[in-house]
Chain A
Amino acid sequence: MPSVAHDETTAIGSVLSGPVESRDFPEWFREQQWDAWKQFASLPSPTRKDQAWRFANVGLLNLTPFKVGGTLPDMQRNAILEQSRGLDKVAARLIFAGDQLIERDVVSDQLKKRGVIFQPLERAMVEHRELFQKYFMSQPATLGSAKFAALHQALVSSGTFLYVPRGVEIELPIEIFHWLNGENASVFPHLLLVTDELAKVTVTEHFRSLDPQASGFACGVNDLIAGPGAKVTYICAQNWGTNVVALQMNSTIVDHDASAMSLNLHLGGKYSRFESLSRLIGEGGRSDLLAISVANGAQEFDARTLQDHVSPHTASDLLYKNALDDRARSTFGGLIRVEPHAHFTDAYQKVRNLLLSDDSEANSMPGLEILADNVRCTHGATSGQIDKDELFYLRTRGIPVPVAQRLIVTGFLNEVIQRLDHAAIADHLNRLIDEKFAKEY
């Protein structure tokens, strides 16, 4: 396993002191970072009165304590490497700790020969400048976090660039780990995935904290571009420590006859906001948006989505499920937008909240904006609790209440995971959910 030298011992600064000058970036990128920084500084902080932040606990977004940079002692480095275990078989792997690449398994020579590019961001911007510039942060953050997208652009220091050329199918998943390490540390994870015509790829991303109690800040951007007829599957397992404030801004572009599926599992964080934009720009495009949140303690999960149907004959299907215990809160603000002339749109949106305690709270704002008439758009939102009959049935079979509850909740969430139709990944996600429950009871 070839590993990467880690000589990047950067100075520690505050998140709020702007782009880090000492980084070895090309001049044009540096300028972009400063422009983004100015934008970050000029945009107002969100308030609850903004529709895009309604119900959100914006008070948690104080960035003053968070730092950028820092060193990674060998002991922690080894601990991270040891714990970066995901799937048994992967096509390639990158491990980042504090935004530094600490280990890399490259793609096979065969794939390389066929033109697959799998590189850290800072290399891609030099070696594949044209491709990089065309797609890097090319989608505006429209779901409320424009300010934080600008912050990300100003402070991003590494990340993943993956390009899959025409007709290339990568069978095994590609795996990426991002680790937060140390008190008040911050990371700015980035993934730029570009697929050309008829390409096929699956990427799984893991977000974790080495110290589960340390406070931290994560502000990630993730751009998926599914070229004509391409098939992109993206899985994210977010398992930050319990004191982390996390913002993730994802966008997916689906070209004609392409299909994109994303599944986001949210387990960690104190406040975790997830914005997901899916733009269907070509006929025959399809986008599946799946998410699961398991929240306990005082956790808050805040999801905002937009299914934007730009072209006629496109389909999208959203399924979000939340299981909420203790004083946990969830917010879902989703919109299906059918642009004028995007006829024959078939869009669906479903949110289901399972409330497991008296102090848990679920806010749902499923929305529709339809500007074309020949469409089929439906949404549904439900909030409820464990069915007493189901619980009773399991008890009559001798299963104790806590176990029965867990079974029911797992079954409730499993519907989402099954949609992936990928046994190895499903197993892994189920294991993560079980671990969270194990801590709970």
Chain B
Amino acid sequence: MKTETKAVDINRSIGDFAYPEVHVRDAGAGLSEKTIHYISDVKEDPDWVREFRLRGLKTFLEKPLPTHWASKDLEAIDFDKIRYYLSPGTTAKRSWDEVPEDIKRTFERLGIPEQERKFLAGVEAQFDSEAVYSNIKKAVGEQGVIFVGSTEGLKNHPEIFRKWFGKVIPIGDNKFSALNSAVFSGGSFIYVPPGVKVKHPLQAYFRINAENFGQFERTLIIADEGSEVTYMEGCTAPKFNTTTLHSAVVELIALKGAKIQYITVQNWSSNVFNLVTKRGLAHEDAEIKWIDCNIGSRLTMKYPGVIMKGRKARGEVLSIALANDGQHQDTGAKMIHAADETTSNIISKSISIGKGRATYRGLVHVPKHLKNCKNNTECDALLINSTSRTDTYPAITVRGTGNAVQHEASVSQVSAEQIFYMQQRGLTKAQAMSLSVNGFVNDLVRQFPMEYSVELKRLIELEMEGSVG
């Protein structure tokens, strides 16, 4: 392995050299109609998008913060200080020396390639993954799959884009979806034609890296009849960032018989407010599955949802949250049953370490006159230290006689017997604890793609360090 100093020198020069043509654009701090027009001008938005953005702004300004049920920590966001649009190349550069020690240590432990570390730490504005992205794009392009940025999607494929955009998550869904509607940029647009089964997972990591990470990204995925696709976003490595607000909107549409699997691994640095709205619309026989893993950020509020609109549609949310000191993972799921014989499943596991707080918030809705709908919800929380905190707030509405809904939650700590057993086999207490925690999430982690699950396990070990003994 090269020494770090050497690597920094090399990569700095590459970073400076490689993107001289990037236009430096900056909408400035604060949010007003001027900002919206500025963004629309820069992005050369069609008129309907500009109007959409303005409506978003209006709704955002009108809606109060949801602090009557959500964390008061939201009040710490200073909306006037946030820069709502930064085009590629304007991300503040810093030297490797300025990167906090713990982040460097995490890279080391995760075995992240040297060059990637620089990108993740914000030393370099971009990580050169163009080649990987082009390869993916080429491979799936042959099957007719469209996999582009949302800006490119709305320009080049308006006939599909416009039909579904903002339909699953309307502007006024919540304050932050309104904010995203006003200032969105970045994110992916995917269209999978009927019957096409995309073999490889489409990874946003490579695509988004190629055009800078989106702070207000907007993703729209449409799986046409009988198609299948898996999409992955985020990465296990911490993303060091100075921007404090990340507010994305993700809409999925699975047409008849289609399957969409959406995998998120979120590991923002601990100064980020991560307020994300994610929802899928499943038509007849379709299946939408969210696999959601939250490790980073200061406050995450994210409740992936599925509206089961067609007969026999299925929705699933698998969620893992890890809350360490100073973190609040407020995650959960929403399942809206809107047709007969729809089934949904929610499995949530959270681990609270140190002074961390993990919250499950769920909504299950089975309205009138539906038959044979089923929901199963399981929430398990593990508390590591005496200062750790966990909450569960589900809301379940069931009408009529044809349906079955069950919810179960448990809170426990790592069993003393287990720890004792492992200790007498020669493991240290910390090792035993970490093994036990990995066991707790194992059945969920196994459902992740292999490379993710390996990294995730390492990451959990890392987070556990120093929390016991």
Residue numbers of A with Cβ under 8 A of B are 49-51, 54-55, 340-341, 343, 353, 355-386
Contact = CB atoms under 8 A, between A and B. Distances in A.
Given A372-B383, A382-B407, A386-B401, 11 more contacts: A358-B402, A363-B396, A363-B398, A364-B397, A366-B392, A370-B389, A372-B386, A373-B388, A381-B407, A382-B404, A382-B405
Contacts of B392: 366-368, 379
B469 to A, nearest CB: 15
B44 interface: no
Contact of B411 (A357, A375, A380): A375
A355 B397 contact: no
Interface of B: 68-69, 366, 368-369, 381, 383-413
Nearest to A51: B69
Contacts of B402: 358, 385
Which 6 A-B pairs rank lowest in CB-CB distance, beginning with the nearest?
A373-B383, A383-B398, A368-B392, A385-B401, A377-B411, A358-B400
B401 A365 contact: no
B398 A353 contact: yes
Nearest to A357: B401
Contacts of A362: 396-399
Contacts of B394: 364-367, 381
Given A341-B386, A358-B400, A49 B68 contact: yes
Given A341-B386, A367-B392, A385-B402, A375 B413 contact: yes
A361 B399 contact: yes
Among B369, B386, B389, B399, max chain A CB count under 10 A is at: B399
Among B391, B397, B401, B413, max chain A CB count under 10 A is at: B401
7 contacts: A54-B395, A368-B390, A375-B383, A375-B413, A379-B408, A384-B403, A385-B401
Given A340-B387, A358-B401, A368 B407 contact: no
Contacts of A341: 386
A359 B368 contact: yes
A407 B387 CA distance: 48
A378 to B, nearest CB: 4
B390 A364 contact: no
B210 to A, nearest CB: 43
Nearest to A362: B398
B109 to A, nearest CB: 26
A311 to B, nearest CB: 15
A364 to B, nearest CB: 4
A378 B411 contact: yes
A359 B400 CA distance: 5
Given A364-B394, A378-B409, A383-B396, A373 B401 contact: no
Given A364-B396, A367-B393, A376 B401 contact: no
Among B386, B387, B398, max chain A CB count under 10 A is at: B398
A377 B380 CA distance: 10
Given A358-B399, A360-B399, A371 B389 contact: yes
A43 to B, nearest CB: 16
Given A51-B68, A358-B399, A363-B396, A370 B390 contact: yes
A42 B409 CA distance: 39
B321 to A, nearest CB: 14
A381 B375 CA distance: 11
Contact of A355 (B369, B389, B399, B406): B399
Contacts of A50: 68
Nearest to B380: A378
A369 B360 CA distance: 10
Contacts of B381: 368, 370
Given A54-B395, A383-B398, A358 B368 contact: yes
Contact of A379 (B69, B387, B405, B409): B409
Contacts of A361: 368, 397-399
A382 B396 CA distance: 9
Among B394, B396, B408, max chain A CB count under 10 A is at: B396
A355 to B, nearest CB: 5
A371 B405 CA distance: 28
